[in-house]
Amino acid sequence: MAPASPSRRGRNKRSAAKEGTPRRSRRRASAYADGGSQQLTSTPTHRAAYSDTRQWLLERHGAICAYCAQRTDIGEITLDHVTPRRGLTAYDRRDNLVLCCKRCNGGKADKPILAFLIADRKRAATLLRYGTHLSPMLVDLARQIAGPEAAALAERLADPDYPYSD
């Protein structure tokens, strides 16, 4: 009887049996793998797109915090994930990102958006004004917290044809 070849030493019976079968890739199939144009609610944001998203929001609203409406220096304004990124359900898409001053970004940290908005309901009204691009669920949550009067005012102020500034 011939001794086992060095290449087979240390292998168990299971791996030896699989030797003839092709290995499957562990990568998941992408939702866009078929070339379809299915898109959720906004453009996915990847590392290179953060600067594009930031620039898009600056052009749209200026360097204004979406939570406190403070005008901030362009170099000091940050991007904030409305739904915190720390959890497994966090989104890195435009419909979850807003411009935010460093004070609000630090104060919000990893708090759920519900807790952050309820702590100061004016934030919800401001978010309605500067977060019209957010996902419908986030906009609806902010509308419910702000109340009908604040929501109506935020809609008027967000309208580019509204003749009065705040």
Express each pLDDT in 34-71 by its tens digit.
443 434 445 554 666 788 888 999 998 899 999 999 99
For residue 33, being part of any structural domain is answered with: no
Report whether 135 contacts 96 (CB < 8 A). Answer: yes
Q: Print the domain residue range for 73.
A: 49-158
Q: pTM above 0.75? A: no
For residue 32, being part of any structural domain is answered with: no
For residue 42, being part of any structural domain is answered with: no
For residue 24, being part of any structural domain is answered with: no
**Cα–Cα distance, 120 to 1 (Å, whole number):** 81
For residue 7, being part of any structural domain is answered with: no
For residue 130, being part of any structural domain is answered with: yes
Distances in whole angstroms, Cα of residue 139 to Cα of each of 14, 26, 131: 54, 37, 7
Domain count, the chain: 1
Q: What was the pLDDT predicted at 12? A: 52
Mean pLDDT of 98-123: 93
For residue 134, being part of any structural domain is answered with: yes
Report whether 81 contacts 96 (CB < 8 A). Answer: yes
Per-residue pLDDT for 2 more than 70?
no
Mean pLDDT of 107-124: 92
- CATH number of the domain residue 67 falls in: 1.10.30
For residue 31, being part of any structural domain is answered with: no
Bridge partner list, 78: 100
Q: What was the pLDDT predicted at 113? A: 92
The one-character DSSP state at 2 is P
Report whether 73 contacts 63 (CB < 8 A). Answer: yes
3-state SS class at 162? coil
Selected residue with higher pLDDT from 95 and 88 = 95
Express each pLDDT in 104-113 by its tens digit.
999 998 889 9
